Amino acid sequence: MEKLQQKIGYQFKNQRLLKDALTLAHGNKAATYERLEFLGDRVLGLIVADMLLIHHKNEKEGDIAKRFTALVREETLADLAKQIGIPDALITDAPELRDNASVLSDVMEALIAAIYKDSGFETAKSFVEPLYETMLDIDVTPPVDSKTALQEWGHKHNILLPVYKVISQTGPAHAPLFKVSVKMGDYDEVIAEGTSKKIAEQNAADGFLKLHAKGFKK
């Protein structure tokens, strides 16, 4: 925990908050980060939304919303968690969770909430803003995730909305693996896997686009 605090440049007054944010379920003990993650999701959302409105003053709300979704999605948060060293700071007896995108994303939000509770909103904002400043203008075209892109492709070709179905869920509760299929119109279904239902659906949509919608630009 000390290395993480040095990395992020913030020393907790209440070390228990940091410990709770980093503690995963193990043995017979429940995870402690989940309630903090719920709060952190809201704190992060407010900070990122405000940053986007300031940096993209002339964009429409719909385009801002797409940027927002890309910046707070699981994959982005997991990458940020790795950048600041969260995997090595996790308190768990299941080492495979240190590379689980869903877990890292949630713990990242829990850490934001812990900072908020320890020192207030402005401190949490000072922690979040530097992480996102270089990402606000990576692409002038608002990003579109694979599920949204598939839906837009279907609408363009007058095809019914895609239907996602969970085929199976394997692995332990703390490290599940989801297998999901996506079917759309008369096209063959595509099956993909992911460490969460959301990631599996995104992977399935991406696979569908690559197989059936060659040349389509997201």
137 is catalytic: no
CATH-assigned architecture of domain 2-135: Orthogonal Bundle (1.10)
- Give the position of tokens 């401190």: 123
Give the residue extent of every domain in the chain: 2-135, 146-212
Provide the CA 166 distance to its chain's centre, in angstroms.
20
Cα–Cα nearest to 202, from 214, 212, 190? 190
Provide the CA 100 distance to its chain's centre, in angstroms.
11
Cα separation, 97 vs 110, in Å, equals 16
Topology adopted by domain 146-212: Double Stranded RNA Binding Domain (3.30.160)
Q: Give the pTM.
A: 0.69
Cα separation, 2 vs 120, in Å, equals 21
pLDDT value at position 26?
59
Catalytic residue selected from 74, 109, 118, 145: 109
59 is catalytic: no
Catalytic residue selected from 20, 37, 41, 201: 41
pLDDT digit string, tens, across residues 80-135: 999 999 999 999 888 888 888 889 999 999 999 999 999 999 999 999 999 999 88
Q: Band of the pLDDT at 28, cuts 50, 70, 90?
A: low
